[in-house]
Amino acid sequence: MNRRSRRVLFPRVAIEVESETEESSEDEEEDHEEEPLTPPTQPVNNKKKAPITISLKRVCKVCKGTGHEAGFKGATYIDCPKKPCFLCKQPGHTTMNCPHRVATEHGVVPAHRREFRGSLDYLFERQLRANVPMIKPGFVIPDQVDCAIIRLHSRRVTSLEFHPTNNSILLSGDKKGQLGIWDYNKVYEKTVYGSIHSCILNSMKFNPVNDGSLYTASSDGTICYTDLEIGTPNLLMNLNPDGWNGPANWRMLYGMDISSSKSLVLVADNFGFLYLVDMRSNKRIREPVLIHKKGTKVVGLHCNPLQPELLLSCGNDHFARLWDLRRIDAGDSLGNLPHSRVVNSAYFSPLTGTKILTTSQDNRIRVWDSIFGNIESPSREIIHSHDFNRHLTCFRAEWDPKDPSESLAVIGRYISENYDGVALHPIDFIDTSTGRLVAEVIEPNIKTISPVNKLHPRDDVLATGSSRSLFIWRPKEQLEPSEEQGERNYRVSICNKQEKKSKRAKLDDESDEGDDVSGLDLNDKSKQKPGACYKVLHCPPSSKSKSKK
């Protein structure tokens, strides 16, 4: 086709310009000013082509309407006013002035006091209530990055687990199926096993009788059992023995837990089925059981810490479900916990196992105070921004296993806040008994969202997976005081491309530690060195200057 005929066939182009002369100061319109806009001449032979309209009006990126704009203005995001609030999902206001955003109570919707008291309530009062401490201790918040490992993984982190006996070992799984092992007390001691799985490592659990080995479940449809010293995976179960036969047949494993008293590995797939594998014989026992709506993903499984027969599952059918492992059959759950959208996670409380904490895509964290009562509605709903699934690992609120009152939970936040001109996504510590936001933890160098968080079972330590990097947080008061106010050193190890690049530049003979670089931005790749100890500006949540307009 020559140039001439191309022009003839091209549809008519109309141009709309902003009518009212706005205070068009620095805006991008000037770019268009001199453009030789296609002339709407020669409308020959273009009857069938719809005219193209080029609009120079300010258009909202979200609703395409005029008169307003949505998007980032500096570090503050402006919502489209025509959409319901992005946080609480209610119409009539935007996230910026959502009452749940600025209130420390974070939007708690308590359940009505129930008059009904069944026999299980009495059982709870008689046998378990005495073990539940009534006085809540002060929370210790790990709010200062102590060390970090940048780009340990080549894809985003999907799961984290602390070693059950070695206090400073953190395991991490990623979207590629790789397994990272990091001793954060010796920051530069890290290993990545690249051939455990072929895609997303969704869940990992230690063998309760051998803490040197790990069970992992993956979207490749396998469970692997790996000795951490050797790193060679042993295939325990493979749901796709015939390879790829299209998405309708490819089975992926998500939720996994271990019932140590029954010596079982419990794992569930993306079609709603639960599989039971005996840990002694490494054989599957009984047929898979449909525990959620057929064809929907079961994303979480959790065994009750005190009652070995109780299992909690959650999934994409908008339910968390309670099961009795002694008689588990399709449709025969002990209880169903309804949600309005997908349930990302559901956990029993870590000590007594009598509470349930769930995270749902509807931007709500729900708490059931007693599994023995009426569980049709939660005791509390806590509004919290975590509605995002694509591109990111799902957000999950997790209990602090050290909190004797079983009320503190940690969860990353999707929505950003403007901290001194930088958009940061905090990690929230929430008192689930009141919904109060106990702390929002940030670090100016972590500019990516931190959906994966794990609190240490014994130490006051928080591990965070953010994009491909890992961070270890400790309470400020437990760290050495800073030399200058507002600044602190933390140890950083940088991996992957950066490491290779640095080796090429013959920097690898430099000392691993003590390489202070003042005011370094970890995102500024040109200034990075491997194994350096960076001095960063500390921006504590208490002294942050949130700009709330």
Partner DNA sequence: AGAGGATGTCGCC
Partner DNA sequence: TGGCGACCCTCCTC
Q: Which long-range contacts (CB under 8 A, 24 or more apart) does 211-216 make?
A: 211/163, 211/164, 211/165, 211/166, 214/161, 214/171, 214/179, 215/256, 215/258, 215/265, 216/173, 216/179, 216/256
By CB under 7 A, the count of residues binding DNA is 40
Nearest to DNA of 361, 432 (CB atom): 361
CB-nearer residue toward DNA: 71 or 74? 71
Place of tokens 């709500």: 364
Residue 89 engages DNA in binding (rule: CB under 7 A): no
Is there binding between residue 95 and DNA (CB under 7 A)?
yes
Nearer to DNA, 219 or 432 (CB): 219
Nearest approach, Cβ of 306 to DNA (angstroms)? 30
Residue number, 204 or 342, with CB nearest to DNA: 342
Distance CA 383, CA 364 (A): 5
Closer Cβ to DNA, 77 or 368, answer by number: 77
Element (H, E) at 502: helix 497-504
Q: Whose Cβ is closer to DNA: residue 296's or residue 374's?
A: 296
Q: According to the binding rule CB under 7 A, does residue 499 interact with DNA?
A: no
Q: Under the criterion CB under 7 A, does residue 391 sit at the interface with DNA?
A: yes
What token pair was written down for 182? 């990091």
The smaller minimum CB distance to DNA, of residues 86 and 182, is found at 86
For position 388 contacting DNA by CB under 7 A, the verdict is yes
Site stretch for DNA (CB under 7 A), options 75-83, 108-116, 184-192, 209-217: 75-83
* Token pair of 224 as six digits: 């692997």
* 345 in contact with DNA (CB under 7 A): no
Cα radius of gyration (the chain)? 27
CB of 58 to DNA, least distance (A): 16
Among 156, 380, 456, 535, binds DNA (CB under 7 A): 156
Q: Does 144 bind DNA (CB under 7 A)?
A: no
- For 368, the token pair is 């059931």
Tell me how far apart the terminal alpha carbons of the chain are, to the nearest angstrom. 56
Distance CA 90, CA 85 (A): 5
For 275-332, give the DSSP string: EEEETTTTEEEEEEEE-SSTT--EEEEEE-SS-TTEEEEEETTSEEEEEEGGG--TT-
Residue from 167, 213, 336, 389 that binds DNA (CB under 7 A)?
A: 389
Q: Which helix (H) or strand (E) holds 346?
A: strand 343-348
Residue numbers 283-312 binding DNA by CB under 7 A = 294-295, 297, 299
Smallest separation, CB 74 to DNA (Å): 12
Q: Are 408 and 400 contacting, i.e. CB atoms less than 8 angstroms apart?
A: yes
* Phi, psi (deg, nearest 5) at residue 542: -65, -35
The span of 383-391, 426-434, 470-478, 506-514 binding DNA (CB under 7 A) equals: 383-391
By the rule CB under 7 A, 422 interacts with DNA: no
Sites for DNA among residues 244-283 (CB under 7 A): 248
**What phi and psi, each to the nearest 5 degrees, are found at residue 253?**
-105, 130
Residue 235 parent element (H or E): strand 233-238
Q: What is the DSSP-derived secondary structure letter of residue 482? A: P
Q: How far is the CB of 268 from DNA (least distance, A)?
A: 13
Q: How far is the CB of 157 from DNA (least distance, A)?
A: 10
Task: Determine the 3-state secondary structure of 423 from DSSP.
Answer: strand
Verify binding: residue 197, DNA, rule CB under 7 A: no
Binding of DNA by 390 (CB under 7 A): yes
Nearest approach, Cβ of residue 151 and DNA (Å): 8
* Distances in whole angstroms, Cα of residue 274 to Cα of each of 199, 293, 463: 20, 12, 29
CB-based contact 317:336 (threshold 8 Å)? no
β-bridge mates for residue 234, sequence order: 225
According to CB under 7 A, which one of 70, 152, 320, 408 is a site residue for DNA? 70
Looking at 7, 32, 497, 548, which residue binds DNA (CB under 7 A)?
497
Figure out which of the listed residues 12, 136, 341, 529 binds DNA, where binding follows CB under 7 A.
Answer: 341
3-state secondary structure of 159: strand
Residue from 57, 68, 83, 476 binding DNA (CB under 7 A)? 83
Residue with Cβ nearer DNA (497 or 503): 497
Contact flag: residue 361 with DNA (CB under 7 A): yes
Pick one of 383, 392, 439, 495: the residue that binds DNA (CB under 7 A).
392
Positions 510 through 539 that interact with DNA (CB under 7 A): none
71 binds DNA (CB under 7 A): yes
- Considering only residues 436 to 465 of the shown chain, the ones binding DNA according to CB under 7 A are 447-449
Per DSSP, what are the bridge partners of residue 475? none
Q: How far is the CB of 255 from DNA (least distance, A)?
A: 12
Q: Does residue 415 touch DNA according to CB under 7 A?
A: yes
Q: How far apart are CA 345 and CA 217, in angstroms?
A: 16
The sign of the dihedral angle between the CA atoms of 327, 332, 334, 340 is: positive
Query: Using CB under 7 A as the criterion, which residues of the chain lie in contact with DNA when the complex forms?
Result: 61-62, 70-72, 77, 79, 83, 86-87, 95, 154, 156, 248, 294-295, 297, 299, 316, 318, 341-342, 361, 388-392, 414-416, 423, 425, 447-449, 466-468, 497
